[in-house]
Structure 1
Amino acid sequence: MHTAVSSRHARLLRGARPLVIAAALLGAGTAAAENIKTLKGFPVPLPPNLGTFVRDRAAAIQLGKAFFWDTQAGGDGVQACATCHFQAGADVRTRNTVNPGANGIFNSVAGADAFLAPGIFPIGTDDVVGSQGIIKSKFNALTGTPVDDCTVLPDPVFNVGGTNVRQVTGRNTPTNVNAIFNFRSFWDGRANNVFNGVNPAGPNDPTATVLQVGASGPVAVTVSIPNASLASQAVGPPNNPVEMSCAGRNFFQLGRKLLNLQPLGQQVVSPDDSVLGPLANTSGTGLTTTYPALIQAAFQPQWWNSTAVVNGFSVMENNFSLYWGLSILVYESTLVSDDTPVDRFLAGNGSALGATEQLGLNVFTGKGRCVQCHEGAELTAATVRNHDPLKGFLNTAVRPVAEDQGDIIQHNGKFKTPGLRNEELTGPYFHNGGMATLREVVEFYNRGGDFPSQFTDGQIRPLGLTESEKTALVAFMVALTDDRVRFEKAPFDHPSLTVPNGPTLLAVGKLGRNPGGASFLGLSQFQP
């Protein structure tokens, strides 16, 4: 099954006689009708001073894609960024994905390493469906191999019969597709819009410096790179002791590790890869170039061209977080999903949506009130376009505020409003992963949320949707799927990847693969 829509539903939706766009938006009001647009042709926001750092954007995309998919970055030689973003930019694994939440007790499943089942959804406890990272360990040293020298630490939470299993994050993994439009990133917005070259904190960390090479040698400088929350986000997980690294490793050490390993050395790269194909080692694994060569091609010489050793590390090792963050940002800026049926319809193709989907668009922009938060071409207000750090972070009454304060600025259980494209493929939903299908999400909003409080946004209220309106709204959201994402066609192709407790992905070239991605747990999105 390639999609979450049954073949019967698909025939009904596609076979329905198209209505005109104006009719679909009738009753939604002019403001609402103008507040949802196609993403096709929408400008992709990049840092205005990117050229100060990156001299060849195509080379930076190659470097960023290699970094993002390279399993050697993990302390165990297994965890890559992509390990938690392998389907439509998200994580749909069903084993060992539950974090016990604020109370530290597994309520929805028997314990760590358990399998998820449809019957536990919607989750009514503080359990979170997150992403599994690394086994709890302490970093000792690099080994010259993909696997670091680490000591396993006792883990009272993530163990089975006294044997540690992989830790699980405390929030669900957001997709990185279309994430380039985020003003701040992560559910709580802690990845600052301004990248400081070192960590997610941006200007809130005045001690963050990188090395700039001048006539007298490298000098520590502060950098300020706006519209770069994806760079701020990218430097968070690699040395995080839950997500990717044994506790205690830093970016200097990660740089030393990867600079001396073959890029993607454990993985197959398709010669038809839309970005890495020309560099693919067709007789084995990895690329035919090196990370130092990729960095030299991508970045201005002032950020690497020195043989000096500073605090025991080379300039490249000192600046590795800068390369990592910016190159992954540039790579992710290509992951724009703008060719959905909805985008084609909004661009003027009246036959791109069937009658049921058009009714769903009407509900989305009208009675369903969805557009009040999921607005604009990006379908979220938490965007660079709005240039407001507070906008788009809302309390929607998913869970009690005491369980998770959310936004690092506003707190009070407010979380970033996600865009909605490809949601068919990215379940489970919400920051806690508590809903398994889009119909469950619709039911949640129709009843006015689950835990309303004085902090809940005023748009969250009972909606009174009919059964046909609920079905239509789900159909509309399914029509927000881009088939390039579903079938992993360029730019969504990738190297091979073995996902712990998940699938083994073959290397995919620019023409994609068949079958494509499926819904979470294989459920129909129309299932309440």
Structure 2
Amino acid sequence: LKRAPVPLPANLGDFVANRGAAIQLGKAFFWDMQTGGDGVQACASCHFQAGADTRSRNILNPGANGVFDTAVPDAMLTAASFPITTGDVAGSQGVIKRSFLGLLGPGDSCATVPDPVFNFHGVNVRQVTGRNTPSTVNAIFNFRSFWDGRANNVFNGVNPAGPTDPNATVLKVGAGGVPVAVQVRLRNASLASQAVGPPNNGVEMSCSGRRFPELGRKLLNLMPLGQQLVHPSDSILGGLSRAPNSGLNTTYGALIQAAFKPAWWNSGAVVDGFSVMEDNFSLYWGLSVMLYESTLVSDDTRVDRFLDGNRGALTAEEQLGMNVFTGKGRCDQCHGKAELTAATVSEASGDPLKGFFNTGVRPIADDAGDILQGNGFFKTPGLRNVELNGPYFHNGDKATLRQVVDFYDRGGDFRTRLTNGQVRPLGMTQGEKNALVAFMVALTDDRVRFEKAPFDHPSLDVPNGTNLPAVGAAGRSTPLGTFLGVNPFQP
């Protein structure tokens, strides 16, 4: 993977003046809890461990039938809850259902709305997404993003829809400081398209009804990461840290001015009640978060070292597992090349359907998947650090890698004529199954395991989870564990 180019838009320089400043801005945006309508929910709240979400309480979505069959809302799941066979989804918890009234501070002024689904004895609990959280690590290689690919490869500056939304415009400052509404198109920017989806989503992060200009006004009047500690040796934000006090010693406005060319912010005009900087907040958000995530490339696993010529990097069992991966298991038919997924910019070569497959995880009626193809097709995820970011599949129904291997060994659970032909009974021995799991564990990068740069981060209060301390570039002293602490080899 070290030799795989990181795909970025060719016209990025038309927008970004200083890439380093944009990365600082993106990391602050990504980890800032003040983004949430409740003043707690950050992007990182669902991407805090190896780029994903490993919480076990309040993670159930009732799925297609609308009934909680596995456990009640807000339940704490255990290893005995998996694999989930009921159609329930192990997703990620968002926010309590509320409607946006106005800005108030770190937390917005919102009205509670009765939630007929996510409540326990009539009391609203946090809503849960209908799919499991994909990892942000190595996501920069995606051609399209989200499990269903709805984050377009082309960023329009406003929302995930790309050029399919002809009404998406941003403001460009022309002669005399007069802003003009323009369309923008940045190719190979699906992570920017993805990044602008959740912040104002009424399930994931916001009270329903808030828009990006309002989020911009909110954050432009708050200290960046004002509720959180930033380690003074943070690999990106350390020089801005106020440690031992919370926050950064700058403003979001200053970061935006440093990161972006003046044509995208330098005006005193007011448009529809908002400043140009407030109106263009989605543009800054998408591009800066994408650039931050472009640094989250995990390319130093023991498998990478083995392929680079270090024949002692893998044990005999792990090498057997690699042979199963590329041979009898046929895993590399979908998880091939350096990125270990076919759903990448390099593999797609402009084909938006590449790397999306029906693998027979659930009936098509449960979730149609890909917005372009339907038919239960989902984006193929990469596999580096997969040991650390369970549960697995788009519906989170498997808790261990061995459960995943058993699924593929039996040829899937809900095969149809649309299921990919590589998914069929494999007849693996117990030794081959264990070797395959061992190989996938060897795909963990120790920089991710110990949260060393660039995977270090500010502190984070995780709802219904363990609060994270600020971690600097040198990482943490103890390694990250698996989902529920279960052994990856456990059936």
TM-score, length of structure 1 as denominator length: 0.92
Which amino acid counterpart does residue 126 of structure 2 have in structure 1? R
Within the candidate set 221, 234, 242, 2:195 is matched to 234
Distance 1:226 1:78 in 2: 32
1:148 aligns with 2:111: no
Question: Which residue in 1 is equivalent to 2:45?
Answer: 83
Paired position in structure 2 for 1:393: 356
The equivalent residue for 1:443 is: 406
Is 2:161 aligned against 1:201?
yes
Q: Secondary structure of the residue that 1:264 maps to in structure 2?
A: coil
Instruction: Report what 1:474 is aligned to.
Output: 437
2:397 to 434, 445, 450: 434
2:55 and 2:259 map into 1 onto residues whose CA distance is: 34
Give the secondary-structure state (helix, strand or coil) at the position aligned to 2:200.
Answer: coil
Which residue does the alignment assign to 1:187? 147
**SS of corresponding position for 1:272:** coil
Separation in 2, partners of 1:516, 1:157: 36
Question: For residue 519 of structure 1, what is the aligned residue in structure 2?
Answer: 482
Q: What residue number does 1:374 align with?
A: 335
5 Å-filtered alignment, 1:44-193, equals: 44-109=6-71, 111-143=72-104, 145-193=105-153
Match of 1:32 in 2: none
Q: Distance in 2 between matches of 1:369 and 1:42?
A: 23
SS of 1:495's partner is coil
Aligned partner of residue 65 in structure 2, secondary structure: coil
- Measure, in 2, the Cα distance between the counterparts of 1:272 and 1:365: 41
The 2-side partners of 1:209 and 1:347 are apart by: 46
- Per the TM alignment, residue 42 of structure 1 is displaced from its structure 2 partner at its CA by 1.7
Q: Is the CA contact 2:229–2:244 (under 8 Å) kept in the aligned structure 1?
A: no
Q: Considering only aligned residues, what root-mean-square deviation do their CA atoms show, in Å?
A: 0.6
- Given candidates 431, 438, 455, the residue that maps to 1:492 is 455
CA distance in structure 1 between the partners assigned to 2:11 and 2:233 by the alignment: 32
* Match status 1:460 vs 2:420: no
Deviations 1:132-183 (A, max 9, x none): 010000000111x101000000001111111111000000000000000000
Residue 493 of structure 1 aligns with an amino acid whose one-letter code is D
How far the C-alpha of 1:41 sits from its partner, in A, is 2.7
Counterpart for residue 315 of structure 1 = 276
1: CA distance, partners of 2:2 / 2:15: 28
Return the offset for 1:283.
Answer: 4.0
Aligned AA (1:63): L
How far apart, in 1, do the equivalents of 2:481 and 2:472 lie?
A: 19
- The answer to whether the 8 Å contact 2:223/2:252 transfers is yes
Deviation at 1:469, TM superposition (A): 0.4
Give the match for residue 295 of structure 1. 256
The one-letter amino acid of 2:62's match is P
Distance in 1 (alpha carbons) for counterparts of 2:63 and 2:80:
19
Supply the AA of the counterpart residue of 1:211: L
AA at the equivalent of 1:361: M
State the SS of the aligned residue for 1:497.
coil
- Distance (Å, rounded) in 2 between the aligned partners of 1:237 and 1:261: 20
For residues 227 and 185 of structure 1, the distance between their equivalents in structure 2, rounded to whole angstroms, comes to: 11
Give distance in 2, aligned partners of 1:310 and 1:117.
51
> In structure 1, what is the Cα distance between the partners aligned to 2:244 and 2:115?
41
Whether the aligned pair in 1 keeps the contact of 2:128 and 2:203 (CA below 8 Å) is yes
The whole-number CA distance in structure 1 between the counterparts of 2:19 and 2:311 is 37
State the one-letter code of the partner of 1:107.
D
What secondary structure is seen at the aligned counterpart in 1 of 2:179?
strand
Q: Give the AA of the match of 1:192.
A: N
User: Can you list the C-alpha shifts for 1:182-219, whole angstroms capped at 9, x where unaligned?
Assistant: 00000000000000000000000000000000114110
Aligned partner (choices 318, 326, 335) of residue 357 of structure 1: 318
Give the C-alpha shift of residue 60 in structure 1. Answer: 0.4
Question: Secondary structure of 1:294's partner?
Answer: helix
Report the Cα distance in structure 2 between the residues aligned to 1:516 and 1:309, rounded to whole angstroms: 50
Q: Which amino acid aligns with 1:489?
A: K
Counterpart CA distance in 2 for 1:448 and 1:367 is 13
Distance 2:6 2:359 in 1: 28
* Structure 1: gaps spanning 5 or more residues: 1-38
**Which letter maps to 1:326?**
L
CA displacement at 1:344 relative to structure 2: 0.6
Distance, in Å, in 2 between the alignment partners of 1:244 and 1:406 is 22
- Quick one: distance in 2 between partners of 1:523 and 1:112? 23
Distance in 2 (CA, whole Å) between partners of 1:221 and 1:405 is 34
Match of 2:332, SS state, is helix
For 2:485 and 2:243, locate their aligned partners in 1 and report how far apart those are by CA, in whole Å.
Answer: 35
Alignment partner of 1:191: what SS? coil
Deviation at 1:40, TM superposition (A): 1.8
Tell me how far apart the structure 2 counterparts of residues 403 and 194 of structure 1 sit (CA, whole Å). Answer: 29
In structure 2, C-alpha distance between the alignment counterparts of 1:137 and 1:287, rounded to whole Å: 30
Equivalent residues, number: 488
- Residue 510 (structure 1) aligned with residue 473 (structure 2): yes
**Residue 252 of structure 1 pairs with residue 213 of structure 2:** yes
Q: How far apart in 1 are the matches of 2:480 and 2:279?
A: 39
**Within 1, Cα distance between the matches of 2:455 and 2:448?**
6
* Residue deviations 1:14-52 (CA, integer Å, cap 9, x gap): xxxxxxxxxxxxxxxxxxxxxxxxx12321111111101
How far the C-alpha of 1:280 sits from its partner, in A, is 0.3
Structure-2 separation of matches of 1:61 and 1:423? 25
Q: Is the Cα–Cα contact under 8 Å of residues 461 and 468 in structure 2 kept in the other structure? A: yes
SS at match of 2:181: strand
TM-score (norm 2): 0.99
Task: Give the aligned residue type for 2:179.
Answer: P
- Distance in 1 between residues matched to 2:126 and 2:223, nearest whole Å: 26
- The 2-side partners of 1:264 and 1:389 are apart by 36
| 1:214 paired residue among 164, 170, 174 | 174
3-state SS of paired residue (2:411): coil
